Structure 1
Amino acid sequence: MQMATITVQQATIEQLDEIVSLFNDYRIFYEKTSDLEGARAFIKAKFVNQESVIFLAYHAVENQAVGFAQLYPTFSSLSMTKAWILNDLYVASRCRQQGVGRKLLEAARRFAERTEANSLSLSTARDNQTAQRLYESFGFTQEDKFVQYNYDIKLI
């Protein structure tokens, strides 16, 4: 794919098909089984219940979605403000190293600022050095004030 202008816009439910395809690829990247039907139901519910904000990156020449970022709202009790978690960021493999991820980060940052959020946080796999370099070059810093734990709930 030739280098082209990348545009980013906040997605709507009308773009569900484009998001589902990218979201499924994102899950496969993180070694999950392909599940287009499950991805569709999950993303559709996020729109219907207004549980997240999704940005889509488009390759201008081909007018094709090539990446997405999904943000979830949260709150900071200590600062008593809104915050956003940039939970998912994915760029199609053929479009990496073309500034797509950076454009998605810029859109997420502008959105967080517009909504008067105190912070925008994210996490990535320890071995995803490419993503870590991007986030650090953008100005994200590794948090060392708190130790993060996770408790997996086993669904029956």
Structure 2
Amino acid sequence: MDIFLASMTHLESLSILFDRYRVFYEQPSDVEAAQQFLKERFTNNDSVLFIASDRDEMVGFTQLYPSFSSVSMKRVWILNDLYVKVSHRRKGIATSLIRTVEQYARDSNAVRVVLATQISNVSAKKLYEARGYIHDKAFDYYTLSL
């Protein structure tokens, strides 16, 4: 298995995988919209994507969005998306993707990586906790849907 930084050349195959990720989160399938969304991310340098490949087949990805901490005056990476195809789960691919994210964050002198997952996503929470991620109990986070 290989993990590498995604680029516009991976757009078509990555869009299909991204669409599957969205369907996992109960969104309607729309590969064309997924492709347009990812194309905009690449074009605007809005995010960083890593792809997991098994014998030239894309089997997983993770997407990071940049942010900053005013208090520490350093970069923060938001691990917004992590997905592995059902057929390739329980093979250490998600762990490898997260390790790649963590190393990328260190290399970019980030102060931290933050993420969120559904309360019901027990397997993801186990993975994050095993990697040392701490469930934040010091801050209450609020969202406003627009």
Query: Shift in Å at residue 78 of structure 1?
Result: 1.4
Query: Shift in Å at residue 145 of structure 1?
Result: 1.1
Query: Shift in Å at residue 19 of structure 1?
Result: 1.1
Hey, what does 1:152 align to over in structure 2?
145
Query: Shift in Å at residue 7 of structure 1?
Result: 1.3
CA distance, structure 2, for counterparts of residue 143 and residue 13 of structure 1: 35
Hey, what does 2:38 align to over in structure 1?
43
**Residue deviations 1:102-121 (CA, integer Å, cap 9, x gap):** 00001101110010000001
> TM-score normalized by structure 2?
0.98
Unaligned residue ranges in structure 1 (runs of 5+): 1-5
Q: Per the alignment, in what secondary structure is the counterpart of residue 73 of structure 1?
A: strand
Runs of 4+ aligned structure 1 residues displaced above 3 Å come to none
CA distance, structure 2, for counterparts of residue 30 and residue 18 of structure 1: 19
Please point out which of 26, 34, 59 is paired with 1:31: 26
Please point out which of 70, 73, 77 is paired with 1:80: 73
Unaligned residue ranges in structure 2 (runs of 5+): none
Please point out which of 104, 124, 132 is paired with 1:111: 104
2:118 is the alignment partner of 1:136: no
Hey, what does 2:7 align to over in structure 1?
12
Q: What is the identity percentage for the equivalent residue pairs of Structure 1 and Structure 2?
A: 38
Hey, what does 2:16 align to over in structure 1?
21
Which amino acid in structure 1 is aligned with residue 33 of structure 2? G
CA distance, structure 2, for counterparts of residue 136 and residue 21 of structure 1: 29
Which amino acid in structure 2 is aligned with residue 16 of structure 1? L
Which amino acid in structure 2 is aligned with residue 127 of structure 1? S
CA distance, structure 1, for counterparts of residue 137 and residue 13 of structure 2: 36
Hey, what does 2:91 align to over in structure 1?
98
Hey, what does 2:60 align to over in structure 1?
67
CA distance, structure 2, for counterparts of residue 35 and residue 9 of structure 1: 25
> TM-score normalized by structure 1?
0.92
Query: Shift in Å at residue 85 of structure 1?
Result: 0.2
Q: Per the alignment, in what secondary structure is the counterpart of residue 4 of structure 2?
A: strand
Which amino acid in structure 1 is aligned with residue 26 of structure 2? E
